[in-house]
Chain A
Amino acid sequence: MSSSLWLCGSLSIFALMQLVPQIIFAIILGAGIYLFSKNVGTIRKNILSGRDEDRSDRKSDRWMTMLRVAFGQSKMAVRPIPAILHFIVYAGFILINIEVLEIIIDGLFGTHRVLDVLGPVYDAAIGFFEVLAVLVLISCVLFLTRRFIARISRFHSPEMKGWPTKDATNILVIEIVLMLALLIMNAADYTLQQHGADHYSSSGAFPVSSMLFPMFDGMSDGTLIAIERIAWWFHIIGILAFLNYLPFSKHFHIILAFPNTYYSKLKPAGELPNMESVTNEVKMMMGMPVEGAEDAPPPESFGAKDVNDLTWTNLMNAYSCTECGRCTSVCPANQTGKLLSPRKVMMDTRDRLEEFGKIRDGKLENDESKNLHSYISEEELWACTSCNACTDACPVNIDPLDIIMQMRQYLVMEQSSAPQELNMMFTNMENNGAPWQFPPSDRDQWKNDLTTNQA
């Protein structure tokens, strides 16, 4: 009796012991997801600190834009080599995540390759993911080569010094390491399956990893299990760590590219938004009736002094930017040596917004003298020709021009600090109805001596 009780007790302890990895896995998974959603929540709050702007119209056009530009990566195609490499990494990211789903189920329930029930579909999928993993690995190595050996100039502009370059390197190295872990895990698993080891039931096809690590075949099952387990844990913890790196990295674009393109500007690029608050003031000045004039509070300020004066789409743009620099590389001002860089405008907006959020959450002391203009200088703002080359080039439809224009509005309407020549242009326009100093009565002088050779 007592001995059988002892046996029962030891069995349940043994069973519990077996559950330990599953419990640890569940805790790590839960913590990873919790932390990620918390940080995404902060970013969401930061974005929503921007001005309201209605982009709920033209839903089907918006879906099409998102499908074409974010999902189909249509704007990447102008530069074919990075377009192909980027597409591989992107497809790898999405598809290999199906295997991650299986890893999560296996981790939680202690199963081995639970999706094997799909049979030949599963074999094909795992085989395909392996090929993809190698292609992703090669692409990331080529990306690093482009950045640091070929030294493509847009990756080495002044605003890329320090963290932005480190961030880019981190992302590529993490992806390489994760792909290696996946392949090592698969190779050890495959060898164990070949050896007929317990728990490692035959499942999946491993066309790549089975070739990559031939030395595994000579190893003992114990060593192989250790390798497989370490690679498995490293891979999934690595993925969770990478997930939690995203909110602090330019790599967040993999998520925001979708909403950012959905909510992007659908109107003609040349159309700048109308400032309603100014419309009311001008109407009152001109003695025109203003609808709901009594209800509308007078505007507090004109233009953008700080990030919360920008619209929420401007702020989402800032978090969607992955600092590829295509905008800056086509900017006519930047190409001719001026200080303006549209990419820097987006990076500055994000940096200031992060700071703004920390001040709001009491994590940073407020320095009243600082605002968005402490990051973006007048010299940069006045160099823009509003040519829309930057907005056309952006692969995720970011609009730096809209931020530049709102900051100019603050400089002119709140600070009266336009360049002197522009003030003269304003005066001319007010007095003569033309940007130059010509009397309005001369406006139709050109027609006086007009003749044609035709009878």
Chain B
Amino acid sequence: MSESNTPIKVPTMAEMAAKGEAPEVLFWVGCAGSFDERAQKITKAMVKILHHTGISFAILGQEESCTGDPAKRAGNEFLFQMQAMNNIAVLNGYDIKKIVTACPHCFNTLKNEYPALGGEYEVVHHTQFLQELIDSGRLTVSGGAFKGKKITYHDSCYLGRANGVYEAPRKVLQALDAELKEMKRCKAKGLCCGAGGAQMFKEAEKGDKEINIERAEEALETGASVIAANCPFCMTMMRDGVKNFNKEDEVEVLDLAELVARAEDL
């Protein structure tokens, strides 16, 4: 493993615009990816991949604000639309064409709900972007660290059922030469992690089990040593679930971007 520790400079849109440049793609970091300590690692992995492939990218930095997804799903349409319109003003101000994001909630909102408010962009989830890069040969992934390892994949609701993306993340796993062990409920039948619809920000209603425990149990049943995720909220829920079974030393929950970055030793 090389340890060159070369610093990566992450340009903001403001800096690029000042130089009269436009990036190929805007990396929408999202609130979890910006503030949540665990999700920041996903953000960093994604930036390392972007940097490694030489794609010109930028972030909005402090000009980025929550897409409004949890507000909308919690019934606060006012707050959602205020967030959306402010973000759209910023995005349109920079004439953004293509956005990649590592959060399926941001992905869904930007792609499906911003057009009605005047924000039309090509929006891709980072797993789709990774697949595009692999398919076009801009990113080569050698099995390396995960060759032959058992990995199970948790479909997030907002990438899966909400937007019908099931194959792109699986193709990325294939490129890692890992052995994909599907859970009993997967793809369109995949079980939610319990965080969507603004549940992430509140205690669950009264019940006899937590949803993430149910899902983690199912993931552990596959015997996989890695649970692959594509969403920072699923990440939190699945990690908590695995911890609940005291399996955190044996089973890692990793985002697809982290798997790729680790396989390539980025």
Contacts and interface: CB of A to CB of B under 8 A. Distances in A.
Contact of B65 (A267, A286, A411, A440): A440
A429 B192 contact: no
A330 B48 CA distance: 38
Interface residues of B, number: 81
Contacts of B192: 332, 385, 387, 389
B136 interface: no
Interface in A272-306: 272, 274-275, 278-279, 281-283, 285-286, 288, 302-303
Interface stretch (A147-155, A173-181, A247-255, A417-425): A417-425
Contact of B76 (A388, A419, A426, A453): A426
Contacts of A281: 78
A451 B31 CA distance: 22
A78 B185 CA distance: 12
Interface in A331-362: 332-333, 335-340
A436 interface: yes
Contacts of B260: none
A443 B34 contact: yes
A453 B161 contact: no
Contacts of A440: 62, 65
A379 B35 CA distance: 30
A388 B34 contact: no
Given A281-B78, A421-B202, A443 B64 contact: yes
Given A270-B158, A436-B35, A418 B85 contact: no
Contacts of A442: 34-35
A409 B197 CA distance: 13
B83 A452 contact: no
Q: Could you say which of B34, B75, B78, B200 has the most chain A C-beta atoms within 10 Å of its C-beta? A: B75
A159 interface: no
Interface residues of A, number: 73
Nearest to A279: B81
A210 interface: no
Contact of B7 (A274, A278, A451): A451
Interface string A378-414: 0100111111110110000000000001001111110
14 contacts: A282-B78, A282-B82, A332-B192, A332-B214, A382-B202, A405-B75, A422-B198, A425-B201, A426-B76, A426-B79, A429-B79, A450-B8, A454-B4, A454-B52
Interface of A: 78, 267-272, 274-275, 278-279, 281-283, 285-286, 288, 302-303, 330, 332-333, 335-340, 379, 382-389, 391-392, 405, 408-413, 418-419, 421-422, 424-426, 429-430, 433-436, 438, 440-444, 446-447, 450-455
